[in-house]
């Protein structure tokens, strides 16, 4: 039994060493790094390498297990073709990744299959010698890897007697299979292994160098679909005519200036699921959020905002990138797409701000790390930066009281002469709604009351610091919420947005209909910064904002709201499921035009 386990361990290490060597070659041929940086690339890439290796070990693991029962199995003869095939595929992937990165500047992914039907055109930019040299290295690496794996593999394993000890060996082998599964999954946490696990630096190239190319290709292939073919409700002429006036080219003029400072420090607090259902001023439950009610009277309250989506990963993109939401996919989980998104953090960074993001949970969940890094956040703080007691205080990570305390400590120490932007996502007002707070009997409402309590205490403490004088605090949720999670009701999407801080001119209430995705353009417009790359975000104080509407999506459906009413359309049923005050074909067609255009554009990238 020891020989079998030792063999699998050696095989695991062989594949791992191959991937380490791949990183060294990748860095050497693309952009050499100092030894310390290269070491960081290797270390942070080991998670994806181990996961990929776990996949590669599944077949050998099963064969070795079968050899316990099939006493005449010639293990080497069975596994030799597998190792040759895997060696060729891995070598092809690694050489292609290293070579194409020079031209593409992103890791190998399913995009490469778009060029398979036109290989001549794909090779037009390189010489014959270039191709021949790559084929040579593919051959060399294939031979070396397959030879190593075959050399490690014995012709057959010793026969085990059929007795109680053999059953114990099988149990041990099952445990080994469990370890391989954990390597594939990336541990026992909430998040499974994804591209973002390798991201660790502000330097995009170093992050890319750490990513395993085979994992990148496999991950993107699994996530890929023909987006452009979905939701073709309208012919092209009608789609274009309906869509054109909805998102006009944004202008940088502002008809109303809310801020007294042109370069305030900016804190964006994203409140997990804190929809209008829990805000009395929006018609929600009373006494759930008294602190927010108090702060509404002190700040600028936007009372006609609608969330773009129903999930955190999608709401974060709408909030921080001003991007539209999709009913059937999350762009955050598509690194090849999300890397092209604009970001408030990147725009502010270009204007001289230092940027960071705080989240008390697993920042690898839904590929958040990759998204935050590529959209401009220079430093990330997450669950692993908290004590064990703090980060296990809830099933999602550090409770809000700990993260608000950490946020306060971070801001308290900020130098006065430095511009900064911090993003912060809370997590306690999330299922299972178990919080260290007992003010309300209803468990769900009590969790929102807890977050409200933490927010109120934090703002009160912040007001005592010098940083408050030049600070803009923007509070809004990632998505709406309701006790019944009724996504076919417009109240589900109705959310609060509140601007606070010493940087605002005066308290006010803004009644303009808008989406949460309009916040970036509206904010950047107030700062006099360009926001043309936020194509789905509208500055609601611009002269170009002449047709206020809100567009939201849920699982395979959309909501469209304007001054005439609300239409909620179910794509599966292919009909409206909600109309208020009455059915309206124009609203329906405008929603279809946005849905169809968004998927067409997603398919083009």
Per-residue tokens: 450? 């807890």
**Structure letter (DSSP) for residue 233:** -
Residues paired with 371 in a beta bridge = none
Per-residue tokens: 80? 């030799």
**Rounded distance between C-alpha atoms, residue 19 and residue 87, angstroms:** 12
Question: Mean pLDDT lowest for which of 109-118, 302-311, 446-455?
Answer: 109-118
594 vs 176 pLDDT, higher one: 594
CA dihedral 430, 434, 440, 441 (to 10 degrees): 110
Could you tell me if 537 and 557 lie in one domain?
Answer: no
Q: Which of 541, 560, 595 is the last residue of a domain?
A: 541
User: Given this model, what pLDDT does residue 362 score?
Assistant: 92
Task: Verify whether residue 366 is a known catalytic residue.
Answer: no
Orientation of helix 2-30 relative to helix 75-104, angle to 10°? 20
User: Given this model, what pLDDT does residue 217 score?
Assistant: 87
Q: Which of 223, 238, 272 is the last residue of a domain?
A: 223
Could you tell me if 103 and 12 lie in one domain?
Answer: yes
The region that residue 582 occupies, defined by phi over 0 for left and psi between -120 and 50 for alpha, beta otherwise, is: beta
30 vs 192 pLDDT, higher one: 30
pLDDT higher than 70, residue 478 = yes
Q: Render the burial of 149-180: b for 16+ CB within 10 Å, e for the rest.
A: beebbeebbeebeeeeeeeebeeebeebbeeb
Task: Report percent pLDDT > 90 for the chain.
Answer: 71
Q: Render the burial of 356-380: b for 16+ CB within 10 Å, e for the rest.
A: bbbbbbbbbbbbbbbbbbbbbbbeb
Q: Is residue 499 domain-resident?
A: yes
User: Given this model, what pLDDT does residue 161 score?
Assistant: 65
Q: What is the CATH number of the domain that holds 435?
A: 3.40.720.10
User: Given this model, what pLDDT does residue 41 score?
Assistant: 95
Q: Which of 541, 570, 594 is the last residue of a domain?
A: 541
Q: Is residue 323 domain-resident?
A: yes
Could you tell me if 55 and 152 lie in one domain?
Answer: yes
Query: What is the per-residue pLDDT across 309-334, written as a single tens digit (0 to 9) for each?
Result: 999 999 999 999 999 999 988 999 88
Per-residue tokens: 574? 């292919």
User: Given this model, what pLDDT does residue 164 score?
Assistant: 65
- Within its chain, how far is the Cα of 100 from the centroid? 25
- Within its chain, how far is the Cα of 440 from the centroid? 33
Mean pLDDT of the 499-515 span: 98
Binding residues for Mn(2+): 272, 312, 478-479
Residue 210 in contact with residue 19, Cβ under 8 Å?
Answer: no
- Cα atoms found within 13 Å of the Cα of residue 188, Cβ hemisphere only: 3
User: Given this model, what pLDDT does residue 195 score?
Assistant: 84
pLDDT higher than 50, residue 55 = yes
Per-residue tokens: 496? 């609060």
Residue 29 in contact with residue 98, Cβ under 8 Å?
Answer: yes
Q: How many residues does the chain have?
A: 605
Q: How many domains does the chain have?
A: 3
Query: What is the per-residue pLDDT across 163-189, written as a single tens digit (0 to 9) for each?
Result: 666 677 677 778 888 899 999 998 887
User: Given this model, what pLDDT does residue 605 score?
Assistant: 60
Could you tell me if 181 and 235 lie in one domain?
Answer: no
pLDDT higher than 90, residue 499 = yes
Could you tell me if 375 and 319 lie in one domain?
Answer: yes
pLDDT higher than 50, residue 298 = yes
Query: What is the per-residue pLDDT across 373-390, written as a single tens digit (0 to 9) for each?
Result: 999 999 999 999 999 999
User: Given this model, what pLDDT does residue 5 score?
Assistant: 87
Could you tell me if 107 and 198 lie in one domain?
Answer: yes
Q: Is residue 331 domain-resident?
A: yes
User: Given this model, what pLDDT does residue 121 score?
Assistant: 46
Cβ contacts of 244 within 8 Å, gap of 6 or more: none
Could you tell me if 117 and 79 lie in one domain?
Answer: yes
User: Given this model, what pLDDT does residue 497 score?
Assistant: 98
**Structure letter (DSSP) for residue 180:** H
Which residue is catalytic, options 52, 98, 312, 567? Answer: 312
User: Given this model, what pLDDT does residue 551 score?
Assistant: 98
Per-residue tokens: 61? 């693991």
Using CA atoms, how far residue 221 sits from 47, 111, 216, 218, 527, in Å, is: 19, 9, 8, 5, 40
> Quick one: 227 exposed, middle or buried, by C-beta within 10 A (0-12, 13-18, 19+)?
buried
**Rounded distance between C-alpha atoms, residue 173 and residue 161, angstroms:** 16
Q: Is residue 105 domain-resident?
A: yes
Could you tell me if 236 and 184 lie in one domain?
Answer: no
Query: What is the per-residue pLDDT across 120-133, written as a single tens digit (0 to 9) for each?
Result: 545 545 678 888 88
Residue-by-residue DSSP string for 529-584: ---TT-TT---TTSTT--S--EEEEETTEEEEEETTEEEEEETTTTEEEEEESS--
Binding residues: 272, 312, 430, 478-479
Cα dihedral sign for 382, 383, 385, 386?
Answer: positive
Task: Report percent pLDDT > 70 for the chain.
Answer: 95
Q: Is residue 573 domain-resident?
A: yes
Per-residue tokens: 508? 């006010």
Residue 271 in contact with residue 476, Cβ under 8 Å?
Answer: yes
Could you tell me if 339 and 368 lie in one domain?
Answer: yes
Q: Is residue 115 domain-resident?
A: yes
Mean pLDDT of the 45-51 span: 94
Mean of per-residue pLDDT scores for the chain: 91
User: Given this model, what pLDDT does residue 124 score?
Assistant: 47
Mean pLDDT of the 521-547 span: 95
**Rounded distance between C-alpha atoms, residue 471 and residue 126, angstroms:** 52
287 vs 69 pLDDT, higher one: 287
Per-residue tokens: 53? 């290796």
User: Given this model, what pLDDT does residue 452 score?
Assistant: 98
**Domain coverage including residue 562:** 225-246+549-605
**Rounded distance between C-alpha atoms, residue 183 and residue 186, angstroms:** 5
Best CA proximity match to 203, nearest among 413, 389, 33: 33
Mean pLDDT of the 187-207 span: 84
**Rounded distance between C-alpha atoms, residue 345 and residue 376, angstroms:** 5
Using CA atoms, how far residue 238 sits from 157, 478, 589, in Å, is: 68, 33, 9
Could you tell me if 207 and 231 lie in one domain?
Answer: no
- Cα atoms found within 13 Å of the Cα of residue 167, Cβ hemisphere only: 2
Q: Is residue 254 domain-resident?
A: no
Could you tell me if 554 and 489 lie in one domain?
Answer: no
User: Given this model, what pLDDT does residue 260 score?
Assistant: 95
Question: Mean pLDDT lowest for which of 61-75, 207-221, 354-368, 531-545?
Answer: 61-75
**Structure letter (DSSP) for residue 436:** S
Using CA atoms, how far residue 374 sits from 208, 353, 516, in Å, is: 11, 16, 21
- Give the residue carrying structure tokens 């594949």: 15
User: Given this model, what pLDDT does residue 172 score?
Assistant: 78
Best CA proximity match to 473, nearest among 490, 456, 488, 489: 456
Could you tell me if 274 and 150 lie in one domain?
Answer: no
Instruction: Determine phi and psi for 304, rounding to 5 degrees.
Output: -130, 45
Q: Is residue 259 domain-resident?
A: no
């Amino acid at each position: 039994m020891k020989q079998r386990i030792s063999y699998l361990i050696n095989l695991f290490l062989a594949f791992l060493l191959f991937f380490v060597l791949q990183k060294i070659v990748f860095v050497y041929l693309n952009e050499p790094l100092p030894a310390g940086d290269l070491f960081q690339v290797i270390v942070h890439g080991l998670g994806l390498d181990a996961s990929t290796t776990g996949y590669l070990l599944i077949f050998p693991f099963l064969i070795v297990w079968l050899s316990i029962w099939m006493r005449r199995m010639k293990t080497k003869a069975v596994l030799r073709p597998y190792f040759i095939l895997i060696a060729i595929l891995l070598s092809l992937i690694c050489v292609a990744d290293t070579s194409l990165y020079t031209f593409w500047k992103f890791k190998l992914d399913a995009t490469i299959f778009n060029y398979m039907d036109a290989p001549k055109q794909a090779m037009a930019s390189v010489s014959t010698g270039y191709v021949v040299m790559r084929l040579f290295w593919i051959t060399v690496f294939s031979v070396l890897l397959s030879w190593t794996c075959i050399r490690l593999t014995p012709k057959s394993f010793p026969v085990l007697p059929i007795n109680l000890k053999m059953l114990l060996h099988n149990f041990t082998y099952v445990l080994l299979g469990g370890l391989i599964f954990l390597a594939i999954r990336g541990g026992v946490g909430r998040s499974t292994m994804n591209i973002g696990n390798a991201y660790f630096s502000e330097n995009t190239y170093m992050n890319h160098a750490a990513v395993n190319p085979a994992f990148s290709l496999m991950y993107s292939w699994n996530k890929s679909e023909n987006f452009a073919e979905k939701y073709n409700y309208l012919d092209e002429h009608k789609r274009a005519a309906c869509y054109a006036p909805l998102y006009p080219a944004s202008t940088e003029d502002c008809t109303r200036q809310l801020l007294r400072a042109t370069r305030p420090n900016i804190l964006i607090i994203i409140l997990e699921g804190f929809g209008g259902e829990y805000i009395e001023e929006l018609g929600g439950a009373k006494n759930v959020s008294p602190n927010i009610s108090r702060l509404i009277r002190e700040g600028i309250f936007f009372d006609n905002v609608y969330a773009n989506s129903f999930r955190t990963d999608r709401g974060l993109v709408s909030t921080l990138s001003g991007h539209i939401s999709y009913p059937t996919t999350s762009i955050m989980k598509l690194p090849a797409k999300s890397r092209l998104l604009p970001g408030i953090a990147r725009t502010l960074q270009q204007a001289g701000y230092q940027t960071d993001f705080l989240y008390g949970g697993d920042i690898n969940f839904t590929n958040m790390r990759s998204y935050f890094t590529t959209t401009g956040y220079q430093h990330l703080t997450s669950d692993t930066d908290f004590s064990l007691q703090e980060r296990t205080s809830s099933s999602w990570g550090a409770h809000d009281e700990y993260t608000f305390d950490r946020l306060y400590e971070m801001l308290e120490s900020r130098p006065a002469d430095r511009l900064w932007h911090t993003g912060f996502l809370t997590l306690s007002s999330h299922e299972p709604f178990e919080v260290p707070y007992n003010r309300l009997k209803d468990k769900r409402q009590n969790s929102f009351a807890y977050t409200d309590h933490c927010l109120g205490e934090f703002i009160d403490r912040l007001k005592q610091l010098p940083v408050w004088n030049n600070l803009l605090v923007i509070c809004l949720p990632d998505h709406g919420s309701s006790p019944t999670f009724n996504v076919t009701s417009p109240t589900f999407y109705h959310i609060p947005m509140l601007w606070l801080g010493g940087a605002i001119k005066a308290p006010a209430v803004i009644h303009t209909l808008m989406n949460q995705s309009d916040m970036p353009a509206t904010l950047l417009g107030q700062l006099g910064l360009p926001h043309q790359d936020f194509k789905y975000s509208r500055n609601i104080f611009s002269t170009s904002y002449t047709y206020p509407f809100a567009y939201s999506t849920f699982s395979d459906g959309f909501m469209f709201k304007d001054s005439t009413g609300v239409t909620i359309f179910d794509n599966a049923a292919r009909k409206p499921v909600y109309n208020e005050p009455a059915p309206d074909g124009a609203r329906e067609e405008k929603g279809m035009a946005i849905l169809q255009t968004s998927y067409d554009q997603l398919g083009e990238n």
